[in-house]
Protein backbone atom coordinates (compact mmCIF):
# COMPACT_ATOMS: atom_id res chain seq x y z
CA UNK A 1 0.00 0.00 0.00
CA UNK A 2 2.80 2.40 0.92
CA UNK A 3 4.59 1.50 -2.31
CA UNK A 4 1.41 2.22 -4.27
CA UNK A 5 1.01 5.69 -2.73
CA UNK A 6 4.70 6.49 -3.24
CA UNK A 7 4.56 5.43 -6.86
CA UNK A 8 1.41 7.52 -7.42
CA UNK A 9 3.20 10.56 -5.96
CA UNK A 10 6.27 9.95 -8.13
CA UNK A 11 4.19 9.53 -11.29
CA UNK A 12 2.18 12.67 -10.45
CA UNK A 13 5.37 14.70 -10.02
CA UNK A 14 6.71 13.26 -13.26
CA UNK A 15 3.51 14.21 -15.12
CA UNK A 16 3.72 17.71 -13.66
CA UNK A 17 7.28 18.15 -14.92
CA UNK A 18 6.33 16.80 -18.35
CA UNK A 19 3.48 19.33 -18.52
CA UNK A 20 5.78 22.16 -17.47
CA UNK A 21 8.28 21.09 -20.11
CA UNK A 22 5.60 20.95 -22.78
CA UNK A 23 4.21 24.40 -21.97
CA UNK A 24 7.72 25.79 -21.86
CA UNK A 25 8.56 24.31 -25.25
CA UNK A 26 5.68 26.21 -26.81
CA UNK A 27 6.02 29.50 -24.98
CA UNK A 28 9.77 30.11 -25.07
CA UNK A 29 10.93 32.72 -27.62
CA UNK A 30 13.85 31.08 -29.38
CA UNK A 31 15.74 27.81 -29.82
CA UNK A 32 18.30 28.27 -27.05
CA UNK A 33 15.75 29.05 -24.34
CA UNK A 34 13.60 26.16 -25.59
CA UNK A 35 16.42 23.76 -24.76
CA UNK A 36 15.82 24.31 -21.03
CA UNK A 37 12.24 22.94 -20.94
CA UNK A 38 13.32 20.09 -23.22
CA UNK A 39 16.04 19.22 -20.72
CA UNK A 40 13.53 19.34 -17.85
CA UNK A 41 11.25 16.96 -19.77
CA UNK A 42 13.95 14.43 -20.32
CA UNK A 43 15.73 14.45 -16.99
CA UNK A 44 13.28 15.18 -14.17
CA UNK A 45 10.08 14.21 -15.98
CA UNK A 46 11.33 10.87 -17.25
CA UNK A 47 13.28 10.29 -14.04
CA UNK A 48 10.27 10.63 -11.73
CA UNK A 49 8.07 8.58 -14.07
CA UNK A 50 10.66 5.80 -14.11
CA UNK A 51 10.92 5.99 -10.31
CA UNK A 52 7.17 5.56 -10.09
CA UNK A 53 7.33 2.50 -12.37
CA UNK A 54 10.28 1.16 -10.40
CA UNK A 55 8.25 1.14 -7.19
CA UNK A 56 5.56 -0.90 -8.95
CA UNK A 57 7.87 -3.50 -10.45
CA UNK A 58 7.24 -7.02 -9.18
CA UNK A 59 10.28 -8.71 -10.69
CA UNK A 60 13.87 -7.71 -9.96
CA UNK A 61 14.74 -8.12 -13.66
CA UNK A 62 12.17 -5.46 -14.61
CA UNK A 63 13.62 -3.16 -11.93
CA UNK A 64 17.15 -3.59 -13.30
CA UNK A 65 15.93 -2.85 -16.82
CA UNK A 66 14.19 0.33 -15.65
CA UNK A 67 17.34 1.52 -13.89
CA UNK A 68 19.35 0.83 -17.04
CA UNK A 69 16.84 2.79 -19.13
CA UNK A 70 17.20 5.74 -16.76
CA UNK A 71 21.01 5.56 -16.95
CA UNK A 72 21.00 5.53 -20.74
CA UNK A 73 18.48 8.39 -20.81
CA UNK A 74 20.75 10.35 -18.49
CA UNK A 75 23.63 9.83 -20.90
CA UNK A 76 21.86 10.61 -24.16
CA UNK A 77 19.33 13.40 -23.62
CA UNK A 78 21.78 16.12 -22.42
CA UNK A 79 23.99 15.26 -25.38
CA UNK A 80 21.00 15.65 -27.69
CA UNK A 81 20.16 19.14 -26.42
CA UNK A 82 23.84 20.07 -26.47
CA UNK A 83 24.19 18.89 -30.07
CA UNK A 84 21.10 20.86 -31.13
CA UNK A 85 22.27 24.07 -29.48
CA UNK A 86 25.80 23.62 -30.83
CA UNK A 87 24.53 23.04 -34.36
CA UNK A 88 22.32 26.14 -34.13
CA UNK A 89 25.27 28.20 -32.86
CA UNK A 90 27.53 26.94 -35.66
CA UNK A 91 24.82 27.83 -38.16
CA UNK A 92 24.83 31.44 -36.94
CA UNK A 93 21.63 31.63 -34.90
CA UNK A 94 21.82 34.49 -32.39
CA UNK A 95 20.19 34.22 -28.96
CA UNK A 96 17.01 36.17 -28.25
CA UNK A 97 17.46 39.34 -26.22
CA UNK A 98 15.07 41.99 -24.96
CA UNK A 99 16.47 44.66 -27.32
CA UNK A 100 15.77 42.56 -30.43
CA UNK A 101 12.20 42.08 -29.27
CA UNK A 102 11.80 45.83 -28.98
CA UNK A 103 13.32 46.21 -32.46
CA UNK A 104 10.94 43.71 -34.00
CA UNK A 105 7.95 45.29 -32.28
CA UNK A 106 8.68 48.93 -33.11
CA UNK B 1 -7.99 -9.43 -12.41
CA UNK B 2 -11.46 -8.68 -11.02
CA UNK B 3 -14.37 -7.14 -12.91
CA UNK B 4 -13.87 -3.49 -11.91
CA UNK B 5 -10.16 -3.54 -12.66
CA UNK B 6 -10.89 -4.94 -16.12
CA UNK B 7 -13.50 -2.22 -16.72
CA UNK B 8 -11.00 0.45 -15.67
CA UNK B 9 -8.33 -0.98 -17.93
CA UNK B 10 -10.68 -0.95 -20.90
CA UNK B 11 -11.61 2.71 -20.29
CA UNK B 12 -7.95 3.72 -20.05
CA UNK B 13 -7.19 1.81 -23.23
CA UNK B 14 -10.05 3.58 -24.98
CA UNK B 15 -8.78 7.04 -24.01
CA UNK B 16 -5.21 6.09 -24.90
CA UNK B 17 -6.31 4.81 -28.30
CA UNK B 18 -8.33 7.96 -29.01
CA UNK B 19 -5.48 10.30 -28.07
CA UNK B 20 -2.87 8.32 -30.01
CA UNK B 21 -5.07 8.06 -33.12
CA UNK B 22 -5.85 11.78 -33.07
CA UNK B 23 -2.15 12.58 -32.91
CA UNK B 24 -1.37 10.04 -35.66
CA UNK B 25 -3.94 11.71 -37.92
CA UNK B 26 -2.58 15.16 -37.06
CA UNK B 27 1.03 14.23 -37.79
CA UNK B 28 0.02 12.48 -41.00
CA UNK B 29 -1.80 15.56 -42.28
CA UNK B 30 1.05 17.80 -41.11
CA UNK B 31 3.66 15.71 -42.92
CA UNK B 32 1.83 16.17 -46.21
CA UNK B 33 0.88 19.82 -45.62
CA UNK B 34 4.34 21.14 -44.77
CA UNK B 35 6.32 22.59 -47.64
CA UNK B 36 9.62 22.49 -45.79
CA UNK B 37 10.90 18.96 -46.42
CA UNK B 38 13.19 18.98 -43.38
CA UNK B 39 10.25 19.62 -41.05
CA UNK B 40 8.28 16.97 -42.94
CA UNK B 41 10.99 14.36 -42.29
CA UNK B 42 10.96 15.21 -38.58
CA UNK B 43 7.17 14.95 -38.42
CA UNK B 44 7.37 11.51 -40.07
CA UNK B 45 9.74 10.45 -37.28
CA UNK B 46 7.13 11.53 -34.73
CA UNK B 47 4.52 9.59 -36.72
CA UNK B 48 6.62 6.43 -36.46
CA UNK B 49 6.99 6.90 -32.71
CA UNK B 50 3.22 7.27 -32.25
CA UNK B 51 2.58 4.21 -34.41
CA UNK B 52 5.01 2.23 -32.25
CA UNK B 53 3.05 3.34 -29.16
CA UNK B 54 -0.19 2.20 -30.85
CA UNK B 55 1.28 -1.22 -31.56
CA UNK B 56 2.28 -1.55 -27.91
CA UNK B 57 -1.28 -0.71 -26.82
CA UNK B 58 -2.48 -3.45 -29.20
CA UNK B 59 -0.04 -5.90 -27.49
CA UNK B 60 2.03 -6.39 -30.67
CA UNK B 61 5.46 -5.83 -29.15
CA UNK B 62 7.56 -7.27 -31.98
CA UNK B 63 5.96 -4.95 -34.52
CA UNK B 64 6.38 -1.98 -32.15
CA UNK B 65 10.06 -2.82 -31.76
CA UNK B 66 10.59 -2.96 -35.52
CA UNK B 67 8.60 0.22 -36.12
CA UNK B 68 10.54 2.16 -33.49
CA UNK B 69 13.93 0.94 -34.69
CA UNK B 70 13.26 1.38 -38.41
CA UNK B 71 10.85 4.31 -38.53
CA UNK B 72 11.99 6.57 -35.74
CA UNK B 73 15.64 5.64 -36.19
CA UNK B 74 17.19 4.71 -39.49
CA UNK B 75 14.52 6.02 -41.86
CA UNK B 76 14.73 9.55 -40.47
CA UNK B 77 18.51 9.59 -40.97
CA UNK B 78 18.18 8.30 -44.54
CA UNK B 79 15.52 10.89 -45.37
CA UNK B 80 17.69 13.66 -43.97
CA UNK B 81 20.54 12.45 -46.16
CA UNK B 82 18.26 12.45 -49.20
CA UNK B 83 17.14 16.02 -48.38
CA UNK B 84 20.78 17.06 -48.05
CA UNK B 85 21.38 15.70 -51.53
CA UNK B 86 18.33 17.14 -53.25
CA UNK B 87 16.78 20.20 -51.71
CA UNK B 88 15.00 21.53 -48.69
CA UNK B 89 11.79 22.95 -50.15
CA UNK B 90 9.07 21.29 -52.10
CA UNK B 91 8.59 22.67 -55.58
CA UNK B 92 5.30 24.32 -56.30
CA UNK B 93 3.00 21.99 -58.16
CA UNK B 94 1.75 23.27 -61.54
CA UNK B 95 -1.26 21.14 -62.46
CA UNK B 96 -4.41 20.77 -60.40
CA UNK B 97 -4.54 17.28 -58.87
CA UNK B 98 -8.19 16.49 -59.66
CA UNK B 99 -7.69 13.13 -61.41
CA UNK B 100 -5.32 11.68 -58.73
CA UNK B 101 -7.65 12.93 -56.01
CA UNK B 102 -10.66 11.28 -57.61
CA UNK B 103 -8.76 8.02 -58.16
CA UNK B 104 -7.51 7.80 -54.58
CA UNK B 105 -10.91 8.72 -53.11
CA UNK B 106 -12.60 6.13 -55.31
CA UNK B 107 -10.13 3.40 -54.33
CA UNK B 108 -10.44 4.33 -50.64
CA UNK B 109 -14.22 4.19 -50.92
CA UNK B 110 -14.08 0.74 -52.52
CA UNK B 111 -11.73 -0.54 -49.81
CA UNK B 112 -13.91 0.80 -46.99
CA UNK B 113 -16.94 -0.78 -48.65
CA UNK B 114 -15.03 -4.08 -48.77
CA UNK B 115 -14.24 -3.94 -45.05
CA UNK B 116 -17.97 -3.80 -44.30
CA UNK B 117 -18.10 -7.48 -45.22
CA UNK B 118 -15.43 -8.49 -42.73
CA UNK B 119 -16.23 -9.62 -39.16
CA UNK B 120 -16.38 -6.96 -36.44
CA UNK B 121 -12.98 -5.92 -35.07
CA UNK B 122 -12.10 -8.32 -32.27
CA UNK B 123 -15.08 -10.57 -32.83
CA UNK B 124 -14.58 -13.82 -30.94
CA UNK B 125 -16.40 -15.87 -33.57
CA UNK B 126 -14.39 -14.76 -36.58
CA UNK B 127 -12.73 -17.61 -38.52
CA UNK B 128 -9.28 -16.22 -37.71
CA UNK B 129 -9.94 -16.51 -33.98
CA UNK B 130 -11.60 -19.93 -34.16
CA UNK B 131 -9.28 -21.86 -36.47
CA UNK B 132 -6.01 -20.10 -37.24
CA UNK B 133 -5.00 -18.39 -33.98
CA UNK B 134 -5.72 -21.29 -31.58
CA UNK B 135 -3.73 -23.64 -33.80
CA UNK B 136 -0.67 -21.40 -33.69
CA UNK B 137 -1.03 -20.68 -30.00
CA UNK B 138 -1.50 -24.30 -28.98
CA UNK B 139 0.75 -26.10 -31.45
CA UNK B 140 3.39 -23.46 -32.07
CA UNK B 141 5.80 -24.23 -29.28
CA UNK B 142 5.36 -27.98 -29.54
CA UNK B 143 6.00 -28.10 -33.26
CA UNK B 144 8.80 -25.57 -33.57
CA UNK B 145 10.47 -25.56 -30.15
CA UNK B 146 10.40 -21.76 -30.01
CA UNK B 147 8.33 -20.02 -27.28
CA UNK B 148 7.90 -16.76 -29.19
CA UNK B 149 4.90 -17.41 -31.46
CA UNK B 150 5.64 -14.37 -33.63
CA UNK B 151 9.11 -15.65 -34.49
CA UNK B 152 7.85 -19.17 -35.14
CA UNK B 153 5.10 -17.93 -37.47
CA UNK B 154 7.49 -15.54 -39.22
CA UNK B 155 10.34 -17.98 -39.67
CA UNK B 156 8.79 -21.44 -39.78
CA UNK B 157 5.12 -21.38 -40.71
CA UNK B 158 5.47 -18.44 -43.14
CA UNK B 159 9.09 -18.96 -44.09
CA UNK B 160 8.54 -18.27 -47.79
CA UNK B 161 7.17 -14.80 -47.05
CA UNK B 162 10.21 -13.95 -44.96
CA UNK B 163 12.49 -15.19 -47.75
CA UNK B 164 10.64 -12.83 -50.08
CA UNK B 165 11.06 -9.96 -47.60
CA UNK B 166 14.81 -10.49 -47.33
CA UNK B 167 15.08 -10.62 -51.11
CA UNK B 168 13.14 -7.36 -51.39
CA UNK B 169 15.44 -5.62 -48.90
CA UNK B 170 18.47 -6.97 -50.74
CA UNK B 171 17.09 -5.76 -54.09
CA UNK B 172 16.43 -2.31 -52.63
CA UNK B 173 20.02 -2.07 -51.43
CA UNK B 174 21.39 -3.20 -54.78
CA UNK B 175 19.10 -0.77 -56.59
CA UNK B 176 20.36 2.17 -54.52
CA UNK B 177 23.94 1.06 -55.09
CA UNK B 178 23.54 0.78 -58.87
CA UNK B 179 21.66 4.07 -59.19
CA UNK B 180 23.99 6.19 -57.10
CA UNK B 181 27.33 4.62 -57.96
CA UNK B 182 26.64 4.57 -61.68
CA UNK B 183 25.89 8.30 -61.75
CA UNK B 184 29.13 9.19 -59.96
CA UNK B 185 31.18 7.11 -62.37
CA UNK B 186 29.48 8.67 -65.40
CA UNK B 187 30.14 12.15 -64.05
CA UNK B 188 33.79 11.32 -63.46
CA UNK B 189 34.17 9.84 -66.99
CA UNK B 190 32.65 12.88 -68.72
CA UNK B 191 34.65 15.32 -66.57
CA UNK B 192 38.08 13.72 -67.14
CA UNK B 193 38.53 14.41 -70.93
CA UNK B 194 37.89 18.16 -70.56
CA UNK B 195 40.55 18.39 -67.83
CA UNK B 196 43.05 16.74 -70.15
CA UNK B 197 42.14 19.17 -72.92
CA UNK B 198 42.75 22.24 -70.79
CA UNK B 199 46.04 20.88 -69.32
CA UNK C 1 40.35 19.43 -27.92
CA UNK C 2 38.00 19.28 -30.87
CA UNK C 3 34.78 21.15 -31.41
CA UNK C 4 32.60 18.08 -30.89
CA UNK C 5 34.17 16.68 -27.73
CA UNK C 6 30.92 15.91 -25.90
CA UNK C 7 29.46 14.06 -28.87
CA UNK C 8 32.61 12.04 -29.40
CA UNK C 9 32.92 10.93 -25.79
CA UNK C 10 29.29 9.91 -25.51
CA UNK C 11 29.39 8.13 -28.88
CA UNK C 12 32.46 6.18 -27.81
CA UNK C 13 30.67 5.22 -24.60
CA UNK C 14 27.41 4.21 -26.24
CA UNK C 15 28.37 2.40 -29.46
CA UNK C 16 29.57 -0.81 -27.71
CA UNK C 17 26.29 -0.96 -25.78
CA UNK C 18 24.25 -0.47 -28.95
CA UNK C 19 26.13 -3.29 -30.67
CA UNK C 20 25.72 -5.51 -27.61
CA UNK C 21 22.00 -4.78 -27.52
CA UNK C 22 21.76 -5.60 -31.22
CA UNK C 23 23.35 -9.00 -30.66
CA UNK C 24 21.11 -9.60 -27.64
CA UNK C 25 17.99 -8.86 -29.67
CA UNK C 26 19.21 -11.15 -32.45
CA UNK C 27 19.86 -14.10 -30.20
CA UNK C 28 16.77 -13.65 -28.02
CA UNK C 29 14.32 -13.58 -30.88
CA UNK C 30 13.17 -16.99 -29.76
CA UNK C 31 12.22 -16.05 -26.23
CA UNK C 32 11.17 -12.42 -26.39
CA UNK C 33 10.52 -9.65 -28.85
CA UNK C 34 13.25 -9.47 -31.39
CA UNK C 35 14.62 -11.42 -34.27
CA UNK C 36 16.59 -10.69 -37.38
CA UNK C 37 15.05 -7.47 -38.68
CA UNK C 38 15.24 -5.49 -35.45
CA UNK C 39 18.78 -6.67 -34.73
CA UNK C 40 20.00 -5.77 -38.22
CA UNK C 41 18.59 -2.25 -37.96
CA UNK C 42 20.08 -1.70 -34.49
CA UNK C 43 23.55 -2.84 -35.56
CA UNK C 44 23.37 -0.65 -38.66
CA UNK C 45 22.32 2.26 -36.42
CA UNK C 46 25.49 1.82 -34.36
CA UNK C 47 27.66 2.12 -37.47
CA UNK C 48 25.64 5.07 -38.75
CA UNK C 49 26.09 6.82 -35.39
CA UNK C 50 29.84 6.32 -35.70
CA UNK C 51 29.82 7.70 -39.24
CA UNK C 52 27.80 10.76 -38.20
CA UNK C 53 29.82 11.70 -35.12
CA UNK C 54 33.25 10.92 -36.52
CA UNK C 55 34.44 11.16 -40.08
CA UNK C 56 32.44 9.42 -42.82
CA UNK C 57 35.67 8.38 -44.53
CA UNK C 58 36.94 6.71 -41.35
CA UNK C 59 33.68 4.81 -41.09
CA UNK C 60 33.91 3.84 -44.74
CA UNK C 61 37.39 2.46 -44.17
CA UNK C 62 36.02 0.40 -41.30
CA UNK C 63 33.22 -1.04 -43.47
CA UNK C 64 34.28 -0.95 -47.12
CA UNK C 65 31.59 -1.26 -49.75
CA UNK C 66 32.89 -4.58 -51.09
CA UNK C 67 32.62 -6.18 -47.65
CA UNK C 68 29.11 -4.81 -47.17
CA UNK C 69 27.90 -6.11 -50.52
CA UNK C 70 29.40 -9.53 -49.77
CA UNK C 71 27.69 -9.55 -46.36
CA UNK C 72 24.31 -8.68 -47.87
CA UNK C 73 24.65 -11.49 -50.42
CA UNK C 74 25.82 -13.82 -47.64
CA UNK C 75 22.68 -13.10 -45.62
CA UNK C 76 20.31 -13.94 -48.45
CA UNK C 77 22.39 -16.98 -49.42
CA UNK C 78 22.29 -18.24 -45.83
CA UNK C 79 18.50 -18.11 -45.85
CA UNK C 80 18.07 -19.76 -49.24
CA UNK C 81 20.92 -22.15 -48.42
CA UNK C 82 19.01 -23.45 -45.42
CA UNK C 83 16.14 -24.23 -47.77
CA UNK C 84 18.42 -26.11 -50.17
CA UNK C 85 20.09 -27.94 -47.25
CA UNK C 86 16.65 -29.15 -46.24
CA UNK C 87 16.29 -30.65 -49.70
CA UNK C 88 19.63 -32.42 -49.25
CA UNK C 89 18.56 -33.76 -45.84
CA UNK C 90 15.50 -35.35 -47.37
CA UNK C 91 12.73 -32.86 -46.62
CA UNK C 92 11.03 -30.25 -48.78
CA UNK C 93 12.35 -26.73 -49.46
CA UNK C 94 12.42 -24.79 -46.16
CA UNK C 95 11.05 -27.73 -44.16
CA UNK C 96 13.37 -27.39 -41.17
CA UNK C 97 12.09 -30.54 -39.51
CA UNK C 98 14.38 -32.59 -41.73
CA UNK C 99 17.51 -31.27 -39.95
CA UNK C 100 17.30 -33.45 -36.85
CA UNK C 101 15.62 -36.58 -35.59
CA UNK C 102 12.88 -34.54 -33.93
CA UNK C 103 10.88 -31.93 -35.95
CA UNK C 104 10.88 -29.48 -33.02
CA UNK C 105 14.68 -29.55 -32.76
CA UNK C 106 15.09 -29.25 -36.50
CA UNK C 107 12.72 -26.28 -36.55
CA UNK C 108 14.63 -24.57 -33.77
CA UNK C 109 17.95 -24.99 -35.58
CA UNK C 110 16.49 -23.79 -38.86
CA UNK C 111 14.90 -20.71 -37.25
CA UNK C 112 18.17 -19.74 -35.55
CA UNK C 113 20.16 -19.95 -38.76
CA UNK C 114 17.72 -18.03 -40.91
CA UNK C 115 17.33 -15.31 -38.30
CA UNK C 116 21.11 -14.83 -38.36
CA UNK C 117 20.94 -14.65 -42.16
CA UNK C 118 18.17 -12.05 -42.01
CA UNK C 119 20.09 -9.98 -39.44
CA UNK C 120 23.27 -9.93 -41.50
CA UNK C 121 21.42 -9.04 -44.71
CA UNK C 122 19.38 -6.21 -43.15
CA UNK C 123 22.38 -4.66 -41.37
CA UNK C 124 24.51 -4.77 -44.50
CA UNK C 125 21.77 -3.28 -46.72
CA UNK C 126 21.06 -0.41 -44.29
CA UNK C 127 24.75 0.44 -44.24
CA UNK C 128 24.98 0.20 -48.05
CA UNK C 129 22.12 2.66 -48.44
CA UNK C 130 23.62 5.06 -45.90
CA UNK C 131 27.10 5.00 -47.42
CA UNK C 132 25.75 5.36 -50.96
CA UNK C 133 23.88 8.51 -49.91
CA UNK C 134 26.77 9.88 -47.89
CA UNK C 135 29.28 9.45 -50.67
CA UNK C 136 27.92 12.05 -53.04
CA UNK C 137 28.69 15.12 -50.96
**Mean pLDDT to the nearest integer, C12-40:** 90
Question: By CA distance, what is B143's nearest residue in C?
Answer: C104
Mean pLDDT of C101-120: 87
Side-chain-side CA neighbours of residue B24 (13 Å)? 14
Indicate whether B115 belongs to any domain.
no
Number of domains in chain B: 1
Classify residue B156: in a domain, yes or no: no
Q: Tell how far CA C17 is from the center of its chain.
A: 15
d(CA B51, CA B57): 10
Residue B36 gets which letter from DSSP?
Answer: B
Most A CBs within 10 Å: which of C4, C8, C10, as the mutation test of the A interface?
Answer: C10
* Predicted pLDDT of residue B27: 94
**Structural domain includes residue B161:** no
Q: What is the pLDDT of residue B188?
A: 63
CA distance C73 to B174: 10
pLDDT at C53 over 80: yes
- In chain A, the N- to C-terminal Cα span, in Å, equals 60
Share of chain A above pLDDT 90, in %: 29
Q: Helices A60-91 and C5-27 sit at what angle, rounded to 10 degrees? A: 140
| 3-class SS of residue A45 | helix
Q: Does a structural domain hold residue B114?
A: no
The more confidently predicted of residues B196 and A66 is: A66
Mean predicted confidence (pLDDT) in B37-47: 92
Length of chain A, in residues: 106
Whole-number pLDDT of residue B64: 92
* Residue A79 to chain C, least CA–CA distance (Å): 7
Give me the residues paired with residue B89 across strands: B36
Q: Render pLDDT for A10-23 as a digit per residue (tens, 0 to 9).
A: 999 999 999 999 99
Average pLDDT over residues C17-23: 93
User: What pLDDT, in 10s, does the model give residues B119-154?
Assistant: 777 777 777 777 888 888 888 777 777 888 888 888
Interatomic CA distance for residues B190 and B85, integer angstroms: 21
CB-CB neighbors (< 8 A) of A83 in chain C: 6-7
The conformation of residue C30, written as its DSSP 8-state character, comes to G
User: Domain containing B66: what range?
Assistant: 1-90
**What pLDDT is recorded for position B198?**
43
Contact at 8 Å (CB) between B194 and B187?
A: no
pLDDT digits (tens, 9 = 90+) for A69-91: 999 988 888 888 888 888 888 88
Question: Which residues on chain B are in Cβ contact (under 8 Å) with C128?
Answer: 173, 176-177
Query: Do A and C touch (≥3 CB pairs < 8 Å)?
Result: yes
State percent of chain B over pLDDT 70: 90
What CATH number should be reported for the domain holding residue B12? 1.20.120.1200
Q: Chains contacting B with at least 3 CB pairs below 8 Å?
A: C
> Which of A5-9, B135-139, B187-191 comes out lowest in average pLDDT?
B187-191
Residue B117 domain-assigned?
no
Average confidence (pLDDT) over C80-88: 88
Would you say the pTM of this structure is higher than 0.90? Answer: no
Interface residue ranges in chain B relative to chain C, Cβ cutoff 8 Å: 61-62, 64-66, 69-70, 73-74, 77-78, 81-82, 84-85, 142-148, 150-152, 154-156, 159-160, 162-163, 166-167, 169-170, 172-174, 176-177, 180-181, 184
Residue of C nearest to B165 (CA): C118
Decide which of B1 and B164 is more confident: B164
Under DSSP, is residue B89 helix (H, G, I), strand (E, B) or coil?
Answer: strand
Q: What is the pLDDT of residue B187?
A: 62
Q: Cα C127 vs. chain centroid, distance in angstroms?
A: 10
If pLDDT is split at 50, 70 and 90, which confidence band does A100 have?
Answer: low
Round to whole Å and give the CA distance between C129 and C123: 10
User: Residue B117: what pLDDT?
Assistant: 82
User: Could you give the C-alpha distances from B54 to B49, B58, B64, in angstroms and in order?
Assistant: 9, 6, 8
Residue A9's Cβ-count burial label (10 Å; 0-12, 13-18, 19+) is: middle
Residue B148: left (phi > 0), alpha (psi -120 to 50), or beta? beta
C1 band by pLDDT with thresholds 50, 70 and 90: low
What is the arithmetic mean of pLDDT over C107-115? 87
Q: Give residue C67's pLDDT band: very low, low, confident or very high (50, 70, 90).
A: very high
pLDDT at residue B184, as a whole number: 61
Q: Is the pLDDT of residue C79 over 80?
A: yes
Give the model's pLDDT for residue A103: 52
Query: Where residue B195 falls among pLDDT bands split at 50, 70, 90?
Result: very low
Amino acid sequence: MILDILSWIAIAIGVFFVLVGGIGLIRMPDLFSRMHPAGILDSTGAGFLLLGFLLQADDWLVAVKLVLIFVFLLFTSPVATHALAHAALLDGLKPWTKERKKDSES
Amino acid sequence: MDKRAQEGLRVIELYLNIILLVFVAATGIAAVWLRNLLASAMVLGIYSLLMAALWVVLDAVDVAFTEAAVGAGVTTVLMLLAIALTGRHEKRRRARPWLPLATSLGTAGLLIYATLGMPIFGDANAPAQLHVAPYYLLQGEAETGVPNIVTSVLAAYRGFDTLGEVTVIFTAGMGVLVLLTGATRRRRNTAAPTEEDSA
Amino acid sequence: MSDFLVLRVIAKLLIPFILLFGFYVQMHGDYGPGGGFQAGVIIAAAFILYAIVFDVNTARRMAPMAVLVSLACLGVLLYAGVGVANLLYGGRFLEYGAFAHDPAHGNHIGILIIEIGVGIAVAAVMMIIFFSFARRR
